[in-house]
Amino acid sequence: MTKRRPPVSFEDAVTKIAGVLLWPEVSRILDRGERAARNLGDPDAQPAAGDGITLNQARALDAAYRRAGGTYAPMLHAYALQLEAEVAAATADCTAIAMAGAEHAKEAGEAVQATVAASLPGASELILANAERQLEEDVASATHALGLVRKRREQLLGLSPSAPEVAQPVTNGARPDG
C-alpha cells in the first residue's frame, strides 16, 4: 500500500530519493539502519529525539540522487518551498499592515481636509456632515491598522496561536520596547 505523503515534504523527498537509490543506499548515506531511514520517509512515524536529517546528509542524498539520474534535488526543493511558504506567511501580515497604513494615511488626509473645511465660518450642514463622515472613516481605518499591528506583535511575542517563528534581533541585552 502506498502511503500518502504531503507534497514537497521532507518525507516525500526521502521517499523519492529511495525510489531511485533504494533504501539500503539511503541508509548508508544517512549512516543509520534501513528501518530508521525508512521512518524518515514515513509521515506517520514518530521521530525519536535528535532524529532527522542534517544539512550535510540532505546534500549527500541530493547529490547521490542526481548522480543516479535524478533531474533535480528533492531535499533542496522541499527545503526551498517550505522556507518560501513560511516567509510568505510571516510577511503576509507585514503587507497587510503596510496596506492598512496607506489606507489610514489617505483617510487621515481626507479627514483633516474635511475638518479644516468644517472649521471655516459659514460651513454648511453638508460640509459638517462630510467632516463627521471623514473622521469616522479615519477612525475606522486607524482601528483596522491598530488591530493588524497588535496581531503581529502578539505573534512575535508568541501570544497568538498562529505565531510564526521569527528570529529576534540582537540588542546587546537591551529590550526592544524600552
Total tally of structural domains belonging to the chain: 2
Residues 61 and 23 in one domain: yes
CA–CA dist 75, 54 (Å, integer): 11
- Count of CB atoms within 10 A of residue 12's CB? 19
Domain range for 140 is 90-157
Angle at which helices 23-30 and 10-21 cross, to 10°: 120
The stretch 64-91 carries a mean pLDDT of 88
Question: Quick one: pLDDT at residue 171?
Answer: 37
Residues 20 and 52 in one domain: yes
pLDDT higher than threshold 60 for residue 14? yes
Residues 103 and 149 in one domain: yes
Residues 127 and 95 in one domain: yes
Question: Quick one: pLDDT at residue 129?
Answer: 96
* Percent of the chain as helix, strand, coil, to the nearest 5: 65, 0, 35
- For the segment 26-53, what is each residue's pLDDT rounded down to a tens digit? 999 999 999 999 988 887 887 665 678 9
Percent of the chain with pLDDT over 90: 57
Question: Quick one: pLDDT at residue 170?
Answer: 34
Residues 95 and 59 in one domain: no
DSSP per-residue letters across 106-122: HHHHHHHHHHHHHHSTT
